[in-house]
Structure 1
């Protein structure tokens, strides 16, 4: 698939920018891409949501699942705006406005913002695997926060992954991870297996029993 420019100073390696927002992602993924969606309950209450949100937006999932996050750059701040849908899959008549102010964690770490770039490094048996990524959108609404990034360099895996935290009406707090990835080469089956194992680690990264 040809590269498509984002609204930032870099480009990603896939065309369906923002596809992880689509309600029908699992049923109608772009050709050649495998969709996935997993969710975990993290607890309940506003305090749990706020604590998990701070960790999420300061790379807590990535660090908690074994990545070192390096070469973080603020980028331009522009993003794919996305569309918010109702429970029936129809776009809302009035789309919520995105917050634009810069935010920081308790230790001064800047919150992830649209347009940010970073390199995710993970130790392998032989060397270190590096995945450059670009944050293509950020969601920051009352009771809902998160982001998605896409790959920016050619490699064995290409696509987008999103991490959305919700404080639902029943007071429960949930993390949902969605991905849209294409895996190439003779090692594709093994890499897909590793991806499932990685997703399990990501789901546990913010859990009270193993994370925040």
Structure 2
């Protein structure tokens, strides 16, 4: 898998940068899933650390080759699969949220990613003490094989979303 250092000069592959923070743009498949993943400030701190250190992706079974931990402008190559069947997905962090009771980030797809769009990962500590995780995305096929996958690809996205949320629910 080519690494994050090989991403210099690659442009974002979509125009609606930051749109996972508001109304999701037309012309894309939309995903918005929320789940309570724990309780209390201590679990919020664990979940927030997992979000900001790529552990959500790693714990979900995705290989992450990143320049560094999550920060605005950081680029990474995400990989899913085995051996020659590894799908390489270059991304750039386009939004970072760091508030007392809400932490998260969004990455956008770079040229060469199998999809076009953006995905956001957030955790929030609600007033009732529940820790709520949210995955929000908009995407459309960006390569021939993702266009061919059609509904199967959307099913895979939903499965990965469940795995991301599971990564925030699992004990240390």
After TM superposition, the score normalised by the length of structure 1 is 0.71
- Give the equivalent residue in structure 1 for 2:45: 50
Larger Rg: 1
Higher helix share: 2
Tell me if structure 1 keeps the 8 A contact 2:105–2:120. Answer: yes
Unaligned runs of 5+ in 1: 1-7, 75-110
- Give the equivalent residue in structure 2 for 1:15: 15
Tell me if structure 2 keeps the 8 A contact 1:117–1:132. Answer: yes
Q: Does 1:202 align with 2:164?
A: yes
Aligned equivalents of 2:10 and 2:126: distance in 1? Answer: 35
Q: Does 1:73 align with 2:67?
A: yes
After TM superposition, the score normalised by the length of structure 2 is 0.86
Unaligned runs of 5+ in 2: 1-7
Count of aligned positions: 161
Aligned equivalents of 1:200 and 1:174: distance in 2? Answer: 14
Aligned equivalents of 2:171 and 2:76: distance in 1? Answer: 22
Q: CA deviation at 1:154?
A: 3.1
- Give the equivalent residue in structure 2 for 1:165: 123
- Give the equivalent residue in structure 2 for 1:186: 148
- Give the equivalent residue in structure 2 for 1:95: none
Structure 1 residues 69 and 148, CA, compared in 2 at 3 Å: closer, same or farther?
A: same
Give me the CA root mean square deviation: 1.9
Tell me if structure 2 keeps the 8 A contact 1:204–1:211. Answer: no
